[in-house]
Structure formats: structure tokens, C-alpha cells
Amino acid sequence: MATATQTRTGVVALQEERRQPQSMTRIVVRRFFKHRMAVIGVFLLALVVLYVTVGAAFYSEAYANKTNVRDKFEPPGAEYPFGTDSVGRDVLSRTIYGGQISLAIGVTAMLISISVGTLIGLVAGYFGGVVDALLMRLVEAILTIPLLILLLLLSRALMEISSSTTVVLGREISVTVVVIVVIIGLTAWTSLARIVRSMVLSLKEQEFVVAARAMGAGSSRIIFGHILPNCIAPILVAATLEVGVAIVVESALSFLGFGVMPPTATWGNILNGARQSIDDLWWLWVAPGALIMMTVLAINFIGDGLRDAFDPRSIR
Amino acid sequence: MGKFITRRILWMFMVLFVISIITFLLMRNVPGGPFTREKKLPEATIKLLNEKYNLDAPVIEQYLDYVGDIIVPRVVTGKLRPSSAEDYLISIPLSGSGDEQKTLQWVNFGPTYKSRSRSVNDIFRENLPVSFQLGVAALMIAIAIGVPLGTLAALKRNTIFDYMGMGTAILGVSFPVIITAPVLQYLFGVQWGLVPVTGWGSVEYAIIPAFALGFLHAALIARLTRASLLQVLNEDYIRTARAKGLAERTVIVGHALKNSLIPVVTILGPLLAALVTGTFVVETIFGIPGMGRYFVTSITGRDYPVIMGTILMYAFLLVIVNLLVDIAYMWLDPRIRFD
């Protein structure tokens, strides 16, 4: 948040003479926490994170993946608070470990798609011309195909080679998790690329960029040192919302049987178990469904809060 | 304008072409073939089947054959076998009669491997209208709920209506179809018995699936309408309309609302793509015999022509819709020029 934000803070300080000068970050943080919905969102998300972390202290992952065919489709009771699934696994512990995977998928897919989207938007907007035309045509082409079709096909194409497991951060997980993260990440960047590009188009004409160039700064320094910090607002908002989108997409894929494969649990593939009979097996979708809803709702509240906090027009 | 449309149409064909190549390659690289069964078929049978469907030819040849059957129209002389008449989506009788009958045939998406007597076009004829009806019903619900909700929220800004409306909208955006659809199905179908639980046929089968699918988008439209109407209400021409003494109702409906819906029109393209995606899930949950459910099973069954056909068909429809949206955009807002 270097040069440009300083000038911006200067303007704010001039307008609000009697107030102490504040940094952009502090203004945004203050506005964010005044936003009632955003605070509720943070609270809800904290609850979900607590559930999947503290919960893990009570059940081991081996227990979550342990099958026990004699206890299959047990309704909730003393031994299994959330019931069991088609092979007798405990749903409560699976929602805990599945939640870790679902959240991890959301965050990593977001990191990939935000990096790709930002980079492509910056390059297309800054360099313009042929590069811009080609990249934007690529964006349009991706937007033309209904994404789920592409994801279904991709996941089937890559999945067969990977009915195995791998070790990530000391945990053994299905390789399908990695596949899902990569394909969601590599298909979800288009709208951010468009937003960043349009911001760069106007930013690169502004005085501070011209000044930087006059002082001999190279392209990469101008892009990453001067333009990127000014695009931070839409990037942060998109990053927040993208986590929710990735979680929903993963659960839809897993629900259709094209997502993460057992034994690794995710909220989506627990829901998949309820597909055969929703009225008899209600406990298979109530718990993971409620968790997905709570998480996505929280993320959307936070995203909205961030958007309003960054928006200079919504001064409260 | 003409130049813009021509360019877009050329670009459209290029996109479809690229999509077809990518899909074709991707599909052929999926391990396993269409005739891989749990109980293995004899080698000789598989060989015969591969020969019959030309699957032993080089991939490039297969691709060219496939695309050729779709884009190159052909004229056939003589009486048509009934099945051959239905293989083609477009079949127009030309001059002559009896054995001299000439027929122009165009757009053949090939056979399906799952059934000897049916072609991909047969599947389109049966399943596409179902998905289309579901999609259109969902779109209508989305607009019918979204626009009034967004308008109300904007007009009564920062009142209880605004908060309630936008609260509903954010709930709607946050509830994925895979959760709302089973919940609605359970409540209305199983618990209260108001509508059939699964299946397709009369209107009552469509209500809950269309609502489950449309509600999410209603929320998006409501937010968009609110934001855009708030912006429009600050414009000079609204002040002018009020200043010349028009009734508030006329100002809102005739001047503000019409212009505030322009951004809503522009998202119809992506919205339709999202609806298509949604139909996959909704059709699976409600057992609706549409394209989506068929597509999901054909990916598992490696039914190459069905996979290709569905993707190309949907891509084609979406490209057309996007083009129409761009044209509508120019027509609605004369300030926009694309050249």
C-alpha cells in the first residue's frame, strides 16, 4: 500500500481536518468492524473453524475413516451423535475431517485462481495490444462453456490415474483432492482477470504511474509496486468470495460423484451418500448441509463487509 | 454495428472450433473406453465394435469425420431409411419424388454407443426440451422474484424493506442448489405431499425444481437491480422527469426502472451458463429426464458422441445468447458503441 494510498490518506486527512490522519488499512478495518453483517460473518466462520479444529481433538482421523458394515445407516443416537453412512462410518467425525478438507480446498483453489486472475488481468491491462486481445478472448472462451461440464470432464480425465492417496502436510489424503483444487483453481479466475484488467487500464494513465516511469522504473516495478497495490480492494473481495464458490463447486462435484473420493471425506461427498434416499437418511445431509451453508453464508457476509469497507462512497 | 456482429459471429465459430478440439482430445485421454465393462467383453467383440464406430482410426481422422458430419450439409438421393432421416437434426426434402427424392441433410452428431437404434440427435430431441423448459421456468422465477425485490429495496433504501430484501438475497446467494433442492424436495414432496417427489410430466413436477434452481439467481438479480436502480435514481434525467411534474410512479416505472435493468440484461449470458450448470444437479436430485442427467451418466460410460454433442450444443446456445445479449445491450443503451 505504498505511494498511492499515501496520497489518498492525505486527501482524507485534508477533508476531515480535525481528525488524526489514518492509514487506509486502519480506515478499512474500522469500517469493516462497524459492518454488523461482516462481524456476524467473522463470528460464524470462527465457529466453523473451531468445529473442524477442536473437534479433531476428540476423534482421530482413523476413526472417521473406519468402516463398520454392521452399523450402517444408524440414525443419530448415543454412540453416533450424527448417525452413520452406507458403510457404517461415523458422520460426526467425518464432518469434522471433511470440513478440514473442504475448507482447505476452498482456500487453496482460491489462492490459485486469484494468482492466475490477478496476473492475467495485470498483464492484459498493462501491455494491451495483441497480448490483451488474446487473453481476453481466452477469458470469453472459458466463460462460454458451462463450467461444470468442463469440470466433470476434467475430473474424469484426471481422476482415473489417481485412485491412490498421497501425503500432504503429514496427512494421507486422496489424490483426487489435489486434482479438484487444481481444476477449480484454473477455471475460476476469469471474472477477477476482467476486473483487474479494467482497473489497470485506468490506473496506468494516472500521474503517479507516469511519474514512476519518468524516474526510470521498469515494467515489473510499475506493475507490482505501483499498480497492484491499488487493485487490492477488488482482489481481496474476490478472494473472500472465491473461497465460498470453490467450496460450493467442490460439493456439487462430489455430490454428483465426480469429486473427492473416499476414504477422504468432504462435506460434498458425505452429502452424496444421502442421494439414494433423502427421507430415510436425513442425517446424512443435515449436518454437512448446515456446515456448508454456514460457511458460505459467513464468507459472503465477510465479502460484502469488505466491499463496503473498501468503497469510498459508502462512508458511514 | 454490422461489422461488430460479423466479427462476433466469426469469433463464435472459432471458439466452438477450439472447444471441440479440446473436448475431443480430453475425452480420448480418459482412460478406459466406451466398451470397458466390469464383466469384460471378449476381445473380438470389442474389436468389432471399435471397427463399427471407427474408433480404431487415427484420432485426427476420427475428429475430422465427426466435425464433417456436423458442419457439412449433404444431399441424398432416393428414399431414406427412417433411422437415417432422424440421425440428422435438419432434414429438408428437395425436388423430386419417390426414388428420385432428393433430401438435404445437415448436422449429424453421430450415434450413441449405449443404444444401437438411437442417435445423439434422438437424445437431444427427447431430453433437450425438458432441460430447456426447466431452465426457462427457473429464469422466469429468478426475474419475477429478483427484479421486484431489488426495486423495493432500492426505493425504500435503509428501511426494513431494504434490510429484509437484501437479507433474503444474501441467504439466497449462499444456499447452494445441492442443499436447497433436497430440502425443498423433502418438505414439499415427502413431508407435505403437495407435489410429486421425483419425475417429470405436468406443471406440478416442475414447480419445486425450477424454484430451487431459480431462487439463487433471483438473489443475484435482486442485488444487481438494487445497486443499478440506486445509481440511476441519482441521474439528471430522473431529476428532470420529477421537475416536469410526472407522477412518482411514472418516473420510477417509465424512466428509472427501464434504464436500471440494462445491467441485468448483460448478465443474462453468464446467468444462462450458470442455469445450465444448475440443471445438472437439479435433474439428478429430482430424477428429471433432461440433458444434464444424461450427460453425467454418459461421462461415466465414455459415450464419446453424447459428451461431445452436449458440450458443443450448450456452447453453441450460450454463444448465441451472448451475441443476442450484446445486441440487446447496444439497442437498450445507445451510448454503447462496439466498433
Q: Does A280 touch chain B (CB under 8 A)?
A: no
Which range (A170-184, B162-176, B213-227, B301-315) has the least confidence?
A: A170-184
Which of B20, B174, B286 to probe by mutation at the A interface, max A CB count within 10 Å?
Answer: B174
For chain A, give the longest Cα–Cα distance. Answer: 76
Q: What angle do CA B184, B190, B195 make, to 5 degrees?
A: 70
Evaluate if residue B163 carries a pLDDT over 90.
no
State how far residue B92 is from chain A, nearest Cα, in angstroms: 30
Rounded-to-integer distance, Cα B288 and Cα B208, Å: 12
Evaluate if residue B321 carries a pLDDT over 50.
yes
Distance of CA B173 to the CA centre of its chain: 20
Q: How confident is the model at residue B66 (pLDDT cuts 50, 70, 90)?
A: confident
User: Taking CB atoms and an 8 Å cutoff, what residues of chain A touch B307?
Assistant: 153
Evaluate if residue A46 carries a pLDDT over 90.
yes
Evaluate if residue A231 carries a pLDDT over 80.
yes
CB contact residues (below 8 A), chain B span 258-297, against chain A: 269-270, 273-274, 276-277, 280-281, 284-285, 295-296
* CB spacing of A255 vs B174 below 8 angstroms: no
Report which of A15, A254, A10, A283 is spatially closest to residue A151, judged by C-alpha positions: A254
Report which of A146, A137, A191 is spatially closest to residue B12, judged by C-alpha positions: A137
Report which of B308, B297, B293, B256 is spatially closest to residue B151, judged by C-alpha positions: B256
Evaluate if residue A205 carries a pLDDT over 90.
no
Which pLDDT score is estimated for A182? 87
Evaluate if residue B111 carries a pLDDT over 90.
no
* CB spacing of A268 vs B277 below 8 angstroms: no
**Greatest mean pLDDT range, A10-19, B17-26, B146-155:** B146-155
Rounded-to-integer distance, Cα B281 and Cα B286, Å: 9
- DSSP H helices, chain B, are 2-28, 43-52, 59-71, 82-87, 120-155, 160-174, 177-184, 203-233, 236-243, 248-250, 258-260, 262-266, 268-286, 291-300, 304-332
Q: How confident is the model at residue A105 (pLDDT cuts 50, 70, 90)?
A: very high
Mean pLDDT of the residues in chain A: 82
* CB spacing of B277 vs A146 below 8 angstroms: yes
Q: How far apart are the first and last CA of chain A?
A: 23
Q: How confident is the model at residue A50 (pLDDT cuts 50, 70, 90)?
A: very high
Which of B179, B188, B271, B308 to probe by mutation at the A interface, max A CB count within 10 Å?
Answer: B179
For chain B, what is the radius of gyration of the CA atoms? 25
User: Taking CB atoms and an 8 Å cutoff, what residues of chain A touch B31?
Assistant: 160-161
Q: Give the A:B interface size as CB pairs under 8 Å.
A: 120
Q: Does A164 touch chain B (CB under 8 A)?
A: no
Evaluate if residue A1 carries a pLDDT over 50.
no
Give domain A23-310's CATH number out of 3.50.50.60, 3.40.50.720, 1.10.3720.10, 3.30.499.10.
Answer: 1.10.3720.10
Evaluate if residue B131 carries a pLDDT over 80.
yes
Give every CB contact of residue B191 below 8 A, 6+ residues apart in sequence: none
Q: Does A267 touch chain B (CB under 8 A)?
A: no
Rounded-to-integer distance, Cα A103 and Cα A83, Å: 23
Q: Quick one: residue A85, left, alpha or beta (phi over 0 = left, psi -120 to 50 = alpha)?
A: beta
Domain boundaries, chain B: 120-332
* CB spacing of B178 vs A271 below 8 angstroms: yes
* Selected residue with higher pLDDT from B265 and A281: B265
Query: Is residue A229 reached through a cis peptide bond, with omega within 30 degrees of 0 on the bond before it?
Result: no
DSSP character string of chain A: --HHHHHHHHHHHHHSTTSPP--HHHHHHHHHHH-HHHHHHHHHHHHHHHHHHHGGGTS-HHHHH---GGGTTPPS-SS-TT-B-TT--BHHHHHHHHHHHHHHHHHHHHHHHHHHHHHHHHHHHHH-HHHHHHHHHHHHHHHHS-HHHHHHHHHHHHHGGG-SEEEETTEEEEHHHHHHHHHHHHHS-HHHHHHHHHHHHHHTTSHHHHHHHHTT--HHHIIIIIIGGGGHHHHHHHHHHHHHHHHHHHHHHHHTT-SPPTTS--HHHHHHTTTT-TTT-HHHHHHHHHHHHHHHHHHHHHHHHHHHHH-TT---
Which pLDDT score is estimated for B303? 83
Q: How confident is the model at residue A2 (pLDDT cuts 50, 70, 90)?
A: very low
Distances from the Cα of B105 to the Cα of B85, B90, B303, angstroms: 8, 6, 24
Which pLDDT score is estimated for A316? 42
ipTM for the predicted complex = 0.78
Half-sphere exposure of B335 (CA within 13 A, CB side): 2
Q: Does B158 touch chain A (CB under 8 A)?
A: no
Which pLDDT score is estimated for A148? 73
Rounded-to-integer distance, Cα B302 and Cα A135, Å: 32
Which pLDDT score is estimated for A96? 92
Q: Say which of B170, B186, B295 has its CB closest to residue A279.
A: B186
* CB spacing of A300 vs B174 below 8 angstroms: yes
- Count of other CB atoms within 10 angstroms of residue B66: 20
* Selected residue with higher pLDDT from B82 and A118: A118
Mean pLDDT of the residues in chain B: 82
Which range (A76-85, A227-236, B7-16, B252-261) has the least confidence?
A: A76-85
Rounded-to-integer distance, Cα B122 and Cα B110, Å: 10
Domain boundaries, chain A: 23-310
Evaluate if residue A124 carries a pLDDT over 90.
yes
Distances from the Cα of B85 to the Cα of A119, A152, B63, B293, angstroms: 51, 32, 23, 26
Burial bucket for residue A241 (CB in 10 Å: 0-12, 13-18, 19+): buried
Q: Say which of B31, B270, B307 has its CB closest to residue A160.
A: B31
Nearest CA in chain A to B180: A289
- Count of other CB atoms within 10 angstroms of residue B265: 16
Which of A35, A44, A145 to probe by mutation at the B interface, max B CB count within 10 Å?
Answer: A145
User: Taking CB atoms and an 8 Å cutoff, what residues of chain B touch A301?
Assistant: 170
* CB spacing of A148 vs B280 below 8 angstroms: yes
Evaluate if residue B180 carries a pLDDT over 60.
yes
* CB spacing of A149 vs B27 below 8 angstroms: no
Evaluate if residue A179 carries a pLDDT over 70.
yes
Give the architecture-level CATH label for domain B120-332: Orthogonal Bundle (1.10)
Average pLDDT of A244-272? 85
User: Taking CB atoms and an 8 Å cutoff, what residues of chain B touch A143?
Assistant: 269-270, 273
Q: Say which of A252, A282, A304 has its CB closest to residue B281.
A: A252
Which pLDDT score is estimated for A3? 46
* Phi and psi, residue B35, nearest 5°: -110, 15
User: Taking CB atoms and an 8 Å cutoff, what residues of chain A touch B295?
Assistant: 149, 152
Supply the DSSP symbol for B198.
S
Task: Provide the 3-class DSSP secondary structure of residue B155.
Answer: helix
Nearest CA in chain A to B272: A146
For chain A, what is the radius of gyration of the CA atoms? 23
Rounded-to-integer distance, Cα B290 and Cα B250, Å: 43
Length of chain A: 316
